[in-house]
């Protein structure tokens, strides 16, 4: 650990249960949580070992900008402007044609503007810490 603390080195800053200030590196922390939970499910609950293997594309999909489209039942990866980059229905990737069928030729998720406020972004960040 360096002698100086810089907020730019952290993705999220929070307090641990004993009120200790913690620096979280979200990407590494998320991977550790996923790998630990997946290993538990495989070793103790009999889940398929495929859970232990994540491709970089799969990990990127799950990491940032992911929303649940409750109307269509899809997991949707959004760009910063609300454009649908990728989507899945369950574990099945949607093709470009299927994405256009659900979200139109501009690939816009219609609820993006309701998420795109300072209040909602901070709420989503707060919730995402518990989900990831």
Is 18 annotated as catalytic? yes
Residue 45 tokens, joined:
């609950």
Burial state string for 66-103 with b = 16 or more CB within 10 A and e = fewer than 16: bbebeeeebbbbbeeebebebbbeeeeebeeeebeebb
Distance, in Å, from the CA atom of 120 to the CA atom of 115, rounded to the nearest integer, reads 6
Per annotation, catalytic residue among 16, 50, 69, 81: 16
Quick count: other Cβ atoms within 10 Å of Cβ 52? 14
Distance, in Å, from the CA atom of 10 to the CA atom of 99, rounded to the nearest integer, reads 34
Per annotation, catalytic residue among 11, 18, 48, 69: 18
Residue 76 tokens, joined:
């949707």
Active site residues: 16, 18
């Amino acid at each position: 650990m360096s002698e100086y603390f810089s907020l730019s080195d952290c993705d999220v800053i929070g307090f641990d249960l004993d009120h200790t200030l913690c620096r979280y590196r979200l990407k590494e922390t998320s991977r550790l949580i996923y790998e630990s939970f997946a290993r538990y499910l495989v070793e103790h609950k009999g889940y398929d070992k495929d859970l232990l293997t994540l491709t970089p594309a799969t990990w990127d999909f799950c990491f940032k900008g992911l929303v649940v489209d409750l109307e269509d039942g899809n997991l949707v990866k959004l760009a910063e402007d609300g454009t649908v980059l990728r989507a899945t229905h369950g574990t099945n990737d949607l093709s470009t044609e299927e994405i256009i069928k659900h979200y139109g030729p501009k690939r816009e998720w219609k609820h993006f503007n309701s998420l795109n406020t300072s209040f909602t972004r901070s709420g989503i960040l707060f919730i995402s810490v518990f989900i990831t």
